Amino acid sequence: MESEGDSRIDGLKDDDDLQFLLAGTKLIKIRSKSWQKSRYFSLMEDCRTILYSSKKLFKKDQTFLIDDIESVRKGRQTEGLQKYTDPSEEEMCFSIMFKGHNKCLDFMADSKEEADRWVSSLQKLINHVDNLNKKQKREHWFISCMRKADKNKDNKLTLKELKHLLRHVNIEVNDTYAEEIFKKCDTSNSGTLEDLEIEEFYNHLTKREEVDVIYAKYAETQGEMSAGDLLNFLLNEQREQATMESALKLIEKYELDEAAKQKKHMTKDGFIMYLNQEDGSIFNPAHSLVYQDMSQPLNHYFISSSHNTYLMEDQLKGPSSTEGYVNALMKSCRCVELDCWDGPNGEPVIYHGYTLTSKVLFKDVIRAIKDYAFKTSQYPVILSLENHCTVEQQKLMAHHLINILGSALVRKPLGDTMPTNLPSPEELKGKFLVKGKRLNKLDAVFSNNNTVEEETVSEEDEAADCKENSQKAKSKKSKIKLATELSDIVIYCKSVHFGGFEHAKDNQSFYEMSSLKESKALQLADTSATAFIHHNMDKLTRIYPAGSRTDSSNYNPVPLWNVGCQIVALNFQTHTKEMQLNQGRFRPNGFCGYILKPAFQRSLSSQFNPQSLTNGPWLQKKILHVMVISAQQLPKVNKDKEKSIVDPLVKVEIQGVAADNAKKMTNHIENNGFNPMWNEKFEFPISVPELALLLFVVEDYDTASQNDHIGQYCLPLTSVQNGYRQVPLLTKKGVSIPSAGLFVHIMLMDQQ
C-alpha cells in the first residue's frame, strides 16, 4: 500500500529538509519558568503528523498535524518565550502557532542552526501542502489512484487507507461521515472495502442528486459536457461573460479524467470539482485580489479597525497580550488601539484602565506590531493612542515608536509643501500613522514655527468615557500634559473633540479627526445622515464601543458604514455576528483592510440619505432571488455525543440601508448533516446594492433551547456571483470548515 507520505509529498521525496524532519531532533518544550522539558520531535512517515514522546512510562505519545499549523515564528516572538527565556537565547528559540485558536508551542533548540533548520523545513512542508491544496493537483482519478495505491493488488482498502486516498485526490471528508459510509459499504463486515464496494463508497460520498439534475440538463454530448455545453451552462445559468476559451480553461483546471480532458469534455466529477472550487464559489474570484483604485485620499475608504486590541477576552479582567495585536493584524486589521499608562521602572504599559486586566509593555506591543503589520496587507496601519502617561513616559513612548518602527513611521507630511488632503493607501504602503493629540497645527512643520499653542490637551473622549464608568468620575474633562516628542509624530491623524458638523466644517482641518462613542454616532447617523456623510468626505471619523460593554460585545457597524464612517472599531477578540459582518465587508479587494466607499459617499454634490431614500445614483432597484438548495457534510455540534446528529436550517439575511434589511429562514431538516436538501426560494428587494451585505448562517434547530451555530459566511452583494454557487462555511471565529458547504442558486436582477 502506498504510504500517505508518498501521495502528499510528491516533489519533496528526496528533499534534505524533509529528511531532517523525518529524522527529528531533541527540542526543549517551554511552558513556564519551571516547566522546560526535553522531548524528541520528528515527522511521521505519513509526512502530515509531528510526533513527540514523553519520558513518563505510560504517557501516550502526542501528535499534531502539519495542516493545523498557522505559522512558524523564529525567535522569542510569543509572550511565553519572552517571559520564560533569556534575550541571549533569542536565536535558538522558535514557536509553532495553530489555526483557529490562540494555542502555541514554544521551543528552544540546541543551536541557532538547528532552530533555523526547524523553522525553514516546517515552512517548506507547510507551503508544499498548501500548494497541493490550492493547485488542486489531481493527476489521476479516484479508481486509478486506488489501483496505484493498492500495491499488493488485492483490491482491498481499510478506512484509514481510503482516507489517505481521498486526501490524495483532494476530496475533503468529515471523519464521522467517512466512517458511517464505510460501515454501510462494508457489507461483508471484513473491515476492508473491495472492488465494487470502493466505487460505492466513492459514489455515496460524492452523491449530489441536485447536481446530477443540472449536469444532465447540459451534458448533451455522449452523456458528457463538451466545451460548448459548458459554455451554454456558464452563459445561461451562471450569467457570466464567458467565452469558448474560458470554458476550455475550466476543463483544463478541473477535469480529472485524462480521456475526457483529451476530448475537451467535462465529466460529472469534473463538474462537481468546478462547483466546489473558487470559480464555482458565490464569491467573485476577481475580488480576491486588490482590484479597487487605491490612489484616493485615506478618508475615501472603509478601514478595518479594532478596539481594545490588547485584550484577549473581556475588558474587566481579561488578559492583555501582544497576541491580540498579532491576531488582529493577521486578519488585515489596519487600525489598532493602544491604551497607554505609566508603568513600573519608567516603562509605559498597555492595559484597560481602572480594571483588573493584565498589563503588557508598550515597547513589546510596538515590536509585535512591526513584525506582523504587513504580513497580510501592505497598506498603512494606524496606531490609535489612548494616552494617559506622564510627560516622562510619553517621551519614552515617542522614543520606542521612532526607534522600533524606523523609517516606516510617518513623521512629517509626504510632500515638500503643506498638503490640502490626506494621502492615499497606495502612497502610504508599508507605513505607520500615529493617531493622537497634537500641540499645534500641522503647518508648523513647514514654517519652522515650533510654538506650542497649548501645553495641555483634554483627554481622549474614550478615556473620559471610561472614567465616567469608573469609580473616579470627575465632573469636568481632565487635562493631561503632552510631550512635544509625542505630539510631533502625530501627522495625519490629529485627535480633536467633535463639536458638531457645523463647527467641524468651519474649524476642523482635513488631518484632524474625531472619535465618537457608538451611541452618539448612531444618533447622528439617524438624525443627520447627509451631514455625517459630507463630514466624512474630507475627514476621518472613528467610532468605538461604549465603555458599558464590559463583556467586550459589539455594536452593529453597518449603519455607521452607511454614513461613510471609515474607522468603525470593533472588539476583534469577540466572535459575534458583528465581527462576521466586518469580515464580510472586508473580504473583497484582496482582504487588504481597505474598501473604497461608493462614489455617492465621496461626491460633494451627493444628497444621499440612507434613512430616507430619494432618487440618485445610489438607487439601483434590484430583486435578489436566493434558492437554498442543499448543504454538504455539516460538522456535528456536540462531538461528545456519538448519536447526536444535526437538524440544520439556514438563515439568509441582508444588512444594508434600513429599507434593505431583511431576514428569511428555511425549515429545519431532521437528522441530516451529510446532505440535507431544502430547495426553498426567497426574494429580497434591494434599493442600494452597493452598501448591502449578504449573510448566510447555518444553525442546528433545537426545540428546547437556543439553536446552536454550525457555520456562517458573509460577503458584499457587489461581490456575489450569479447562478448555481457553493457557499463556503466558516466557524464563529471566521475559520474555514474544510468539508462543509451550502449549495445555492442566486440571481440578482433589475426590478421591472
Active site residue ranges: 307, 352
Query: What is the rounded CA–CA span in Å between residue 48 and residue 50?
Result: 7
Query: What is the rounded CA–CA span in Å between residue 389 and residue 539?
Result: 27
Q: Judging by DSSP bridges, how do beta strands 156-157 and 193-194 pair with one another?
A: antiparallel
324: Cα within 13 Å, side-chain hemisphere: 32
In the 3-class helix/strand/coil scheme, how is 556-572 assigned residue by residue?
CCHHHHHCCCCEEEECC
Q: Are 427 and 413 in contact (CB under 8 A)?
A: no
**561 contacts: CB under 8 Å, gap ≥ 6:** 302, 568, 585, 691
Residue 546, number of CB atoms within 10 A of its CB? 15
Beta strands in 101-158 (DSSP E): 104-108, 156-157
Q: Are 310 and 338 in contact (CB under 8 A)?
A: yes
Eight-class DSSP state of 438: -
Residues at the annotated binding site?
Answer: 29-56, 308, 337, 339, 386, 435, 437, 515, 542, 645, 647, 671, 700-702
Q: Are 231 and 247 in contact (CB under 8 A)?
A: yes
Query: What is the rounded CA–CA span in Å between residue 706 and residue 709?
Result: 9
Grid cell for residue 348: 509605559
- Using CA atoms, how far residue 279 sits from 134, 284, 721, in Å, is 13, 8, 9
- Using CA atoms, how far residue 262 sits from 53, 136, 271, in Å, is 50, 19, 16
- Closest Cα partner for 561 from 538, 577, 589, 581? 581
Residues at the annotated binding site for substrate?
Answer: 29-56, 435, 437, 515, 542
Eight-class DSSP state of 320: B
Q: What angle, rounded to 10 degrees, do the helices at 244-254 and 227-236 form? A: 110
Residues at the annotated binding site for Ca(2+)?
Answer: 308, 337, 339, 386, 645, 647, 671, 700-702
Coil, strand or helix at 661: coil
Query: What is the rounded CA–CA span in Å between residue 430 and residue 410?
Result: 10
Backbone phi, psi, residue 496, to 5°: -130, 155
**Angle at alpha carbon of residue 478, lines to 472 and 481, rounded to 5°:** 125
Q: Judging by DSSP bridges, how do beta strands 225-226 and 493-495 pair with one another?
A: unpaired
Grid cell for residue 589: 479587494
Query: What is the rounded CA–CA span in Å between residue 351 and residue 112?
Result: 34
**525 contacts: CB under 8 Å, gap ≥ 6:** 532, 559, 560, 562, 563, 565, 610
- Using CA atoms, how far residue 232 sits from 218, 243, 724, in Å, is 8, 10, 14
The H or E element containing residue 387 is: strand 381-387
Q: Are 443 and 525 in contact (CB under 8 A)?
A: no
The H or E element containing residue 149 is: helix 142-149
Q: Which amino acid is at 501?
A: F
Residue 413, number of CB atoms within 10 A of its CB? 17
**Torsion sign across C-alpha atoms 8, 11, 13, 18:** negative
- Closest Cα partner for 724 from 287, 206, 255, 217? 217
Grid cell for residue 558: 453597518
Grid cell for residue 600: 455617492
